Amino acid sequence: MKIIIIGAGQVGATLAENLVGEKNEITVVDSNFTTLQNLQDRLDLKVVHGVGSHPNVLQNAGAEDADLLIAVTNSDETNMMACQIAYSLFKTPTKIARVRAVEYVNFQETLFQNHMIPVDHLIAPEQLVTKSIKRLIDYPGALQVVEFAGGKASLVAVKAYYGGLLVGHALSALKEHMPNVETRVAAIYRRGRPIRPLGTTVIEADDEVFFIAATKHIRAVMSELQKLESSYKRIMIAGGGLIGADLARRLENDHHVKLIEYNAERAKFLSSQLNKTIVFRGDASDQELLSEEHVEQIDAFIAVTNDDEANIMSAMLAKRMGAQKAMVLIQRSAYVDLVQGGEIDIAISPQQATISALLTHVRRGDVVNVYSLRRGAAEAIEAIAHGNESTSKVVGRQIRDIKLPPGTTIGAIVRNEEVIVAHSDTKIESDDHVILFLVDKKFVSDVEKLFQPNVFFL
């Protein structure tokens, strides 16, 4: 596939890194020559120096025969214009744009159409992050929660703690503990390394366990791996930007929400817009302010300003002062591994959320959901099986007979409204939504081939 990426920032560079090893022909466009040079030194791709929305630059990048254009610069307008030029002048088949401003996003259904602004897929990072945090609030104790098949099934990452019913026992005991609940452990990470989960595998304290189940059974399975935490009722949000404001709006009807915003004018505006959220003007790292607002009674402190260091410092302070959980938004992916696991319970990367959404539209075969996991090292994929035994490599076959790439697990199948937890004798039918976990993303192209029907079927 010939792909043009407009923007060589963190998202563009990470996306290129994900795609370049998957037999794609990648061209990256950016106005910063040094950034392009550094990228080309690391990866096997083509670079074009210039403004990505200029026709001559797109022409030099090969827009005339490109299959896909992905615009992820820091400018919404540049991204939208690049898609417009690619459509109007070069008839590029598929165009994806990252758009952050709610003033555009709120009108996406009417605004982004071929006869207006020809963006086929809109990626709104702030919305993705807000939804991700909301899922973590809904499932206290989870490190990551991703949904498949319209929310029918979920993949959840949790840390196994001493006292969890299954800790110290083999995975086969899970069925004994919960005879009426079907679940499958898709992967285990022990001291940062993946372990292939077998029935004889013994769960140890501090293991990071990824399991998949029907969404309605998630809490029951979590209780087997750790002491189930009580619901988060009292929430404190540091930062009243796009993410903070949207998060408060989503939470305020079911939680007691306090929001701290440093800018006085913004704080006043948010106070008028939010119905039940209590808005304070101040510095979230001000110990006196946190004390006055009884941070020790807070169930979840969520720092979502645009400043990584400020988020880290305020969250660490809140945790030391007694907040039960501390979550932080981290823009720099290198910081994520450094901060998560100590006083910071969860580090959230908007880049990884954006990459996941972008990859969904890049994967071959009928792939409807992609989630980048473990800071990009692993992936979870939802693919739809098509065809029959003659035209498909998976339809009509039991899972034991499917040649899955190394480190790849089929966790569950969603068939109509039913969630079927996968076993070796489970047979895949046409139109099944198959949920796979890959501990190594380099095998993604092999998985894609499995779900591409024979050309004669098409």
Residue 294 has pLDDT above 90, yes or no: yes
Question: Distances from the Cα of 151 to the Cαs of 115, 156, 216, 218, in angstroms?
Answer: 32, 13, 10, 12
Contact 122/99 with Cβ under 8 angstroms?
yes
Residue with the bigger pLDDT between 118 and 363: it is 118
pLDDT digits (tens, 9 = 90+) for 422-435: 999 999 999 999 99
pLDDT of residue 108: 86
For range 225-241, the mean pLDDT = 89
Residue 355 has pLDDT above 90, yes or no: no
Q: What structural domains and CATH numbers belong to the chain?
A: 2-123 (3.40.50.720), 129-225 (3.30.70.1450), 234-350 (3.40.50.720), 353-450 (3.30.70.1450)
pLDDT of residue 457: 42
For range 168-183, the mean pLDDT = 86
pLDDT of residue 322: 96
pLDDT of residue 165: 77
For range 287-295, the mean pLDDT = 96
Residue 454 has pLDDT above 70, yes or no: no
Least Cα distance to 35 among 69, 77, 73 occurs for: 73
Q: What is the mean pLDDT of the chain?
A: 91
Residue 455 has pLDDT above 50, yes or no: no
Residue 239 has pLDDT above 90, yes or no: yes
Residue 456 has pLDDT above 50, yes or no: no
| 151, two tokens | 């929310």
pLDDT of residue 458: 42
Residue 333 has pLDDT above 80, yes or no: no
Residue with the bigger pLDDT between 451 and 84: it is 84
Radius of gyration, CA atoms only, the chain: 23
Residue with the bigger pLDDT between 362 and 300: it is 300
How many other β-carbons are positioned within 10 Å of the β-carbon of residue 176?
10
For range 357-382, the mean pLDDT = 83
Residue with the bigger pLDDT between 341 and 161: it is 161
Q: Is 224 exposed, middle or buried (0-12, 13-18, 19+ CB in 10 A)?
A: buried
Q: Pairing between strand 208-214 and 153-159? A: antiparallel
pLDDT digits (tens, 9 = 90+) for 335-344: 777 777 678 9
Angle between helix 264-273 and 242-251 (nearest 10): 30
pTM: 0.86
Q: Pairing between strand 408-415 and 433-438? A: antiparallel
For range 245-259, the mean pLDDT = 97
pLDDT digits (tens, 9 = 90+) for 179-217: 888 899 999 999 888 888 988 999 998 899 999 999 999
pLDDT of residue 365: 66
pLDDT digits (tens, 9 = 90+) for 36-45: 999 999 999 9
